[in-house]
Structures are given as structure tokens and as C-alpha cells.
Amino acid sequence: MASLRCFLRSGRNAVSVILRREFHKTSPAALQVTVRDALNQAMDEELERDERVFLLGEEVAQYDGAYKVSRGLWKKYGDKRIIDTPITEMGFAGIAVGAAMAGLRPICEFMTFNFSMQAIDQVINSAAKTYYMSAGVAAQHSQCFAAWYGHCPGLKVISPWSAEDAKGLLKSAIRDDNPVVVLENELMYGVPFEMSEEAQSKDFTIPIGKAKVERQGSHITLVSHSRMVGHCLDAAAVLAKEGIECEVINLRTIRPMDIDTIEASVMKTNHLITVEGGWPQFGVGAEICARIMEGQAFNYLDAPAIRVTGVDIPMPYAKILEDHSTPQIKDIIFSVKKTLNV
Amino acid sequence: MQKMLTIISNVLRGSASRNGAEMVSEGTRVVVSARTYADFTPQATFDIKKCDLHRLEEGPPQQAVLTREEGLQYYRTMQTMRRMELKADQLYKQKIIRGFCHLYDGQEACAVGIEAGINLTDHLITAYRAHGYTLTRGGTVREILAELTGRRGGIAKGKGGSMHMYTKNFYGGNGIVGAQVPLGAGVALACKYQEKNELCVCLYGDGAANQGQIFETYNMASLWKLPCIFICENNKYGMGTSVERAAASTDYYKRGDFIPGLRVDGMDVLCVREATKFAAEHCRSGKGPILMELQTYRYHGHSMSDPGISYRTREEIQEVRSKSDPISMLKDRMLNNNMASVEELKEIDVEVRKEIEDAAQFATTDPEPPLDDLCNHLFYNDPPIEVRGTNPWTKLKSVS
């Protein structure tokens, strides 16, 4: 039986779209690419490279994508490769998994990951478990799904932050012979990032399962994923003015997690804070802290490792409440100073 | 001698046409196409039940031609399936098979008839009552029984069990009721995409037929004209709930609404075969999906933990066994039309029995999977990884 190559991606629903332009590096003659465009490029390149790849989801074809991530693809590749579906998540997620079982490489898009809950059975019971159960013969609106999908053996889960992350990880996900959940953050779509020459190549991929040190530092390690990476870098910039040098790690992959990079960093800085947008209980930060405790880096900690997370409540509606329900830069700065006892 | 035979055959032919159906068993009429002494009839044509039609101008033919070879093959396969399931029942009661076990005896004509109407290069997916299909799709009795007993020689190396058996172009074996239907449409989408003129047979039961995701699938399969034969195996009970208590409409062949449908006698292997051929032709000609309801019956309860008599009577089960058993029906047809002898069929029974015994022997003596296989097969085509064991100091290895 052909392997399961089902691959899911989606944006996160937001009550209000925050428009912000962020420039995290400046260098001459650099190409600025938004996360949205990077995702679009990744899909375009992979559709061209492998004729088994196709995209299905609500509004992905003629509407150019609900968030315009698939803009232009239907015009270029047509009805066979870019398929608009009715509003039937369970059905089309199952169809995507079935097509993967039969040898194709579908990209199944959920308009928001909240909608994927309707299809979570197909993702977990049909996609994730089938390879294992067949012994290689051929094996379910506003929250962070890293912990949900990261819990499940048989899935790979990636969480890009920058445009380069988005492009490189998405391409790796499409080329991977296994089901991969891609946690896109809708608030990041419009943010431009510098894209290196290397990243502009059609063969550019980022390996799944490897974290990246975005900023070197010696006093404390900040581990994060997705949008919060930007917050960590902003906090680090402020703290640097006070002489505190933070090392910022971008996880890039939730599952399988690159604990080695985190351990090496903690052994250097002796302090650890995890930063995530998701809820605290049973989350990404909880997993990182547990593993650090169980490993060699524990002996190098000069203070307990702590988690900075979203508030343990459902996402509120009013803007001011919403703003205060996920970590702010000031929350990160506050936690760093508490940990370092300054 | 030759002249005498001609006279005899003329007389017989004459009397057959004069008395018609009264001379032979109900529902069959024999056309003698060749006759030499001491030999069997190489083929015969049988009347089969007319199918109820939904959104179809015409249906499958009402006669089926059966050759001797086909008859013997269907007989052997159905008998093997029957005995295999009964052996599984026995092993389960001896506690050599554990967990879930859903047996297929009574429904053999469905699996065998369907396979006779498609090719091995076509695709098929079903739910958890899957042992019969595993056999028709290329699995061996040995591999199936060894999977049920959880041994390394099992078709899924002992890691899947009863509900997770797979072969080439057979996608199991699925435990979540109804989830296999969108999967099957996805396989059909791949068939259409890859332009190899293949189709997908997608099975579900009368219980699953009420699932929302099946209607989502009907919609997309019809919109995109996917080459998908949806088949509802209606055995009258979803676990302990009769169809009347579960469905506002028990006309399962009509539930596809805009999808054409036919209701088929699922106890007659020839009826199932002809309907499947008809449906396959419909799909391959690009007309899109089609729906078949097979009216069938299971002798066992829903699973081995269900005696199957709290929601139906023993009399009902007995009546189906005596009047509509698929194997008996085929056997009678062949014997009454001199297509096989009693001894010949008995010999097949003996061979089948031996095959099952050998397989059971293997399934009870083959060792269990090795412990270092525990974490394998998490991913396909990936480098080996480490997997956490039950505590932080236990690190297990996983290869693709």
C-alpha cells in the first residue's frame, strides 16, 4: 500500500487583523517577502516539481484563497490540481487522506484550524495511525493547535515564523512521505521578512525537526514558535539595552521537537523561559520543561524553568481583552527579569 | 450411440420447454448449450432477481452466465471464507484470538460477487467486517488467521489485528464507523487523477449509512464525477439496532439522492456479480459515482461479544440459513445443472478444511512480533528515530 502523504495547513482565525510592518534585519539589496507570498511560492514550486501534488480546500481555487495564500495557483494549474470544496471538512479531509493512500500528495487546507476539529478524526485516526497499524504495509476559532496535534504519534507538526520558515518548511512538508500538520499563523501572513538568495531557490527546504537559534545570548534562553518568536526578539532588543543578552530559539518544528538545541543553549545560559501563544495546560512549554528536567541540562539551571503562555481562558472578543489574553512583549521582559532576579 | 443421444436430448429439450420452470428448482431455467456423456455442463445461464432501480433507465441483465470454472472458483472461495470465519470463532472462544472480531459468515456472496465484477487493479475499502475482503483481495488464510492471533506472520505483522488488514489496492479494515467512505472517495479521486481507468469500491453498512460524512462524500463524488461505487451492505442490523429503528428511510439505494442506485440480492453471488459489472461500467464510462445496496445477512452477532439473539430470533437466523444461504444456493444450481458432482464438491470441502487447519496451526504456533518491533513503522521512508518509553530513561528505537 502506498504511504500516507497527507499534509494539512491552515491559518489561525483572528477577530481583528493587526497590521504591522516588521523589519528584523537590514542588509543591502535584500529581497523582502511576506509569509503569505513565501507560502504561495512554496506551493507553486512543489506543484510544478511533482505532478502528484494537488491542493484542495474551501475557496482555494477561484477565490484565490480565503487569505489569498493560494492566489494565482488555480489560474496556473487549473481545476485538476487546485480544487474548491464544499463546506464539508470531515468529507474532504477524508478524501485527502484517501488520495494520499492511493499515491497522490494532497495539500488539504482548512480555512481555520477550528474547522479542522470537525475533521480531527480523519487526521488522527485515518492519517496518523494507519501506517503503524498496517506495519508499513500501508496506519482527529481561535486557539493554538500545537499542543493538540503535537500530542499525537504518527504526525509531524511544524510551526513556521518567518517567510523563510514558511517557504522552507512547507516545501519539506509536501516532500515528506508522512502526514504533516502545518500551523500557519494568520496574523503573520502580511508580515514581510528578508529572504536570502539561498531561500529564493526552488530547491530551498528547511529540515523538519531542527530548531534555529535566531539570536545568540549568554544570560537566558528563550524558546518559542510562530508569532511569539518575533515578540521574543523584540523583548531581547529592549533587554539588551539593560545589559541582558537573551538567546532566542525558534523551534520551527513542534513534533519531533529538537530538544538537543534547547539543552545546549540552557547548558550555556543556565536559565530557561518558554514562550507560546497557546494555553498553559498540557502545552508546548510544559513539554519542553518536562524534557529539560529529565535531561542533562537540569543540572545547569540556576532557576526553575518557567512558561510564558496565553491566558487559560477561551479567546475573548473585545480588542483590549484579546490583546491581554496572549503574551505581550512586556510579559516576556517581566518574566526574564524575575527569572534572573534583577 | 450418437443418434440415441440426439433423440434423448431432443426429448429432454422438448419436455423442458413444455413444462418450463416447473421442472427445475424455482428461479432457474436451464439452457443446454452442449452435451456429451459423462462430462459436465461447461456453462449455464441462470435467471437472477431484478434489481430495484433509482434514477436509472435500465439495470443489470436479469440473466447471468456461469461457467463451470467460475462456479467451482466461487464455491471454493465462499467455502474457504465460511470455514475461515468459523475457525476464527472457535479460536476466539478458546481465547487465542482477543479483542474485536467481527465475522462475515452469511455475507460471502457479497465479497465474492463484487470481486468477480471488478479487477485486482481496482481499489476497495471497507469497514471492520473485513476478513472476507482481505481474502478476495489477495490475502491468504494463513496471513489472516495469524493476524487475528497477533503473530509476526500476520498480514500486518501482528500490529493491526482484525480491523486493520491491508493488501495491495485494499485499504482495510477501518475501525471508525463511516470514516472509510470519504477515504474511498479520495482513492477514487486518485484513480481519476492518474487516468488508469481504475475505480474504487467503497463499502459501508446499514448502520454507517446515516453518518453525515457519507452525505458529504456523496456530494463531492457526484460534483467531481469520481469513479466510485458506493456499496451499502445491508444486513438488517447495526449492532443491536434493526434498520427500522435507525433509519427514517431504509431504501439505502435511494439515499444517494442525485446518485443513481440499485438494490441487489446480496445472497446470490451471480446477482452481485452482474450488478457490480453494471456499476463498474457506469463508473468507467465517466458518468460518476453509483450506489448499490446489497441485501444480505450475517449469521453471527455484531462481534464475538454479541450472541446476536437478543434483538433477533433464532428462527429468523435459521430461516435464512435454510432458504437463502449463498453457498447452498450456488451448490444447488451447479448440481441441478450437472455442472459439478457431489463428490467433486465434497473434495473441495475437504481441501478447504485442510487449508484452514494448516492455517490455524500456523496461527497458533507462529511467534509473536519481536519487542523491538514495538516502535517501528511510525513513519514511512524516514531515518530511524528515538521514541520515549514509559519513563525518561527508557529510549526505544523506531525505524520506518
Structure confidence by residue, pLDDT tens digits, B67-101:
999 999 999 999 999 999 999 999 999 999 998 89
Subunit contact B172:A134, Cβ cutoff 8 A: yes
Q: How high does pLDDT run on average in chain A? A: 87
| Exposed / middle / buried, residue B132 (Cβ in 10 Å: 0-12, 13-18, 19+) | buried
Lowest mean pLDDT among A64-68, A101-105, A213-217, B188-192: A64-68
> Are residues B267 and B341 located together in one domain of the fold?
yes
Say whether pLDDT at A222 is over 60.
Answer: yes
- CB of A4 less than 8 A from some CB of B: yes
Say whether pLDDT at B211 is over 70.
Answer: yes
pLDDT confidence tier of residue B220, bands split at 50, 70 and 90: very high
Q: Which residues of B touch A102 (CB under 8 A)?
A: 123, 171, 186-187, 190-191, 200
> Are residues B75 and B107 located together in one domain of the fold?
yes
Distances (CA, A) of B355 to A246, B93, B145, B192: 70, 21, 12, 39
Say whether pLDDT at A126 is over 70.
Answer: yes
Q: Please identify every residue of A annotated as catalytic.
A: 89, 141
* Topology given in CATH for the domain delimited by A33-200: Rossmann fold (3.40.50)
Q: Whose CA is closest to A293, among A255, A338, A259?
A: A259
pLDDT value at residue B180:
96
Q: What grid cell was written down for B13?
A: 429439450
pLDDT confidence tier of residue B209, bands split at 50, 70 and 90: very high
Alpha carbon B372 to its chain centroid, in Å, reads 35
pLDDT confidence tier of residue A304, bands split at 50, 70 and 90: very high
> Are residues B346 and B385 located together in one domain of the fold?
no
Q: Whose CA is closest to B189, among B217, B161, B163, B153?
A: B217
Mutant choice from B124, B216, B374 vs A, greatest count of A C-beta within 10 A: B216
Subunit contact B378:A93, Cβ cutoff 8 A: no
Reduced to 3 states (helix: H, G, I; strand: E, B; else coil), residue A28 is coil
pLDDT value at residue A143:
67
How many percent of chain B have pLDDT more than 90? 80
State ipTM: 0.79
How many percent of chain A have pLDDT more than 90? 73
Taking CA–CA distances from A295, the nearest residue in chain B reads B392
pLDDT confidence tier of residue A144, bands split at 50, 70 and 90: confident
> Are residues B284 and B388 located together in one domain of the fold?
no
How many percent of chain B have pLDDT more than 70? 90
Q: Which residue range(s) make up the domain with B160?
A: 44-369
Q: What grid cell was written down for A12?
A: 489561525
> Are residues B159 and B237 located together in one domain of the fold?
yes
Cis peptide upstream of residue A256 (ω within 30 degrees of 0): yes
**B36 within some domain:** no
Query: Average of pLDDT values for A309-330?
Result: 80
Q: Pairing state of beta strands A253-255 and A156-158?
A: antiparallel
**B320 within some domain:** yes
Subunit contact B377:A121, Cβ cutoff 8 A: no
Task: Give the tens place of pLDDT for each residue, B126-142.
Answer: 999 999 999 999 999 99
Subunit contact A91:B219, Cβ cutoff 8 A: yes
**B180 within some domain:** yes
pLDDT confidence tier of residue A4, bands split at 50, 70 and 90: very low
Say if A33-200 and A212-340 have the same CATH topology.
yes
Tell me the C-alpha distance between A149 and A170, whole Å: 17
Say whether pLDDT at A5 is over 50.
Answer: no
Number of domains in chain B: 2
Query: Average of pLDDT values for B106-110?
Result: 98
> Are residues B238 and B377 located together in one domain of the fold?
no
Tell me the C-alpha distance between B78 and B269, whole Å: 10
Residue of A135 and B311 predicted with greater confidence = B311
Subunit contact B187:A132, Cβ cutoff 8 A: no
How many residues in chain A? 342
Backbone angles phi, psi at A87, to 5 degrees: -80, 75
Cα end-to-end distance, chain B, whole Å: 71
pLDDT confidence tier of residue B3, bands split at 50, 70 and 90: low
pLDDT value at residue A142:
53
pLDDT value at residue A9:
58
**B167 within some domain:** yes
> Are residues B240 and B375 located together in one domain of the fold?
no
HEC letters along chain B: CHHHHHHHHHHHHHHHHHHHHHHCCCCCCCCCCCCCCCCCCCEEEEECCCCEEECCCCCCCCEEEEEHHHHHHHHHHHHHHHHHHHHHHHHHHCCCCCCCCCCCCCCHHHHHHHHHHCCCCCEEECCCCCHHHHHHCCCCHHHHHHHHCCCCCCCCCCCCCCCCCCECCECCCCCCCCCHHHHHHHHHHHHHHHCCCCCEEEEEECCHHHCHHHHHHHHHHHHCCCCEEEEEEECCEECCEEHHHHCCCCCHHHCCCCCCEEEEECCCHHHHHHHHHHHHHHHHCCCCCEEEEEECCCCCCCCCCCCCCCCCCHHHHHHHHHHHCHHHHHHHHHHHCCCCCHHHHHHHHHHHHHHHHHHHHHHHHCCCCCHHHCCCCCCCCCCCEEEECCCCCCEEEECC
Q: Look-up: residue for cell 460477487?
A: B113
Q: Which residues of A touch B125 (CB under 8 A)?
A: 98
pLDDT confidence tier of residue A127, bands split at 50, 70 and 90: confident
A 104-133 → B contacts, CB under 8 A: 104, 106, 121-122, 125-126, 130-133
> Are residues B225 and B123 located together in one domain of the fold?
yes
Q: Look-up: residue for cell 495557483?
A: A73
pLDDT confidence tier of residue B114, bands split at 50, 70 and 90: very high
Q: Which residues of A touch B175 (CB under 8 A)?
A: 125
CATH of the domain at B178: 3.40.50.970
pLDDT confidence tier of residue A1, bands split at 50, 70 and 90: very low
Q: Whose CA is closest to B203, among B82, B277, B111, B84?
A: B111
pLDDT confidence tier of residue B373, bands split at 50, 70 and 90: confident
**B5 within some domain:** no
- Specify which residues A7 forms β-bridges with: A107, A180
Nearest chain A CA: its distance from B137 CA (Å): 12
> Are residues B266 and B385 located together in one domain of the fold?
no
- Specify which residues A57 forms β-bridges with: A84, A109
Say whether pLDDT at B16 is over 70.
Answer: no
> Are residues B345 and B384 located together in one domain of the fold?
no
pLDDT confidence tier of residue A320, bands split at 50, 70 and 90: confident
Q: What grid cell was written down for B149?
A: 492471533
pLDDT value at residue A116:
81
| Exposed / middle / buried, residue A123 (Cβ in 10 Å: 0-12, 13-18, 19+) | buried
> Are residues B354 and B268 located together in one domain of the fold?
yes
pLDDT value at residue A135:
56
Q: What grid cell was written down for A136?
A: 508499513
Query: Average of pLDDT values for B369-395?
Result: 83
**B9 within some domain:** no
pLDDT confidence tier of residue B65, bands split at 50, 70 and 90: very high
* Topology given in CATH for the domain delimited by A212-340: Rossmann fold (3.40.50)
**B3 within some domain:** no
**B7 within some domain:** no
Query: Average of pLDDT values for B178-192?
Result: 97
pLDDT value at residue B348:
98
Q: Which residues of B touch A96 (CB under 8 A)?
A: 186
What are the boundaries of each domain within chain A? 33-200, 212-340
- CB of A103 less than 8 A from some CB of B: yes
pTM beyond 0.80: the answer is yes
Say whether pLDDT at B14 is over 50.
Answer: no
> Are residues B281 and B382 located together in one domain of the fold?
no
Lowest mean pLDDT among B11-25, B120-134, B235-249: B11-25
